[in-house]
Amino acid sequence: MSAQHAPGPWRRMGHRHIADAAGNVICEVWSGPTGIEQADANETLIAAAPELLAALRAVISVADRKTDEFDLAHAAIAKATGAAQ
């Protein structure tokens, strides 16, 4: 079963919110005990997630091989989509 999520692109909105293309807030990032710098890094990574997944799928589609690196790529895609590994 695939994970259900808001399709990208996502963007940072400030005030620790991530929004989808329609402007709907899909995630809030809190600074917590690790501080503002960590929250900024988390917010940036979360906003880039749809593009990262699409890029990884594109690489797999043109150059899939039986290597540890491609096994890691397949595992990351499965984890991101909720697919069984």
The alpha-helical segments, DSSP class H, found in 1-85 are 36-63, 68-81
- What is the C-alpha separation between 34 and 68, in angstroms, rounded? 33
Which letter, b or e, does each residue of 14-31 get, where b requires 16 or more Cβ atoms within 10 Å of its Cβ? Answer: eebebbbeeeeeebebee
Enumerate the β-bridge partners of residue 28.
Answer: 17
Q: Does residue 65 surpass a pLDDT of 60?
A: yes
Entry pTM: 0.66
13-53 pLDDT per residue, tens: 656 778 888 888 777 776 666 667 777 777 788 888 889 99
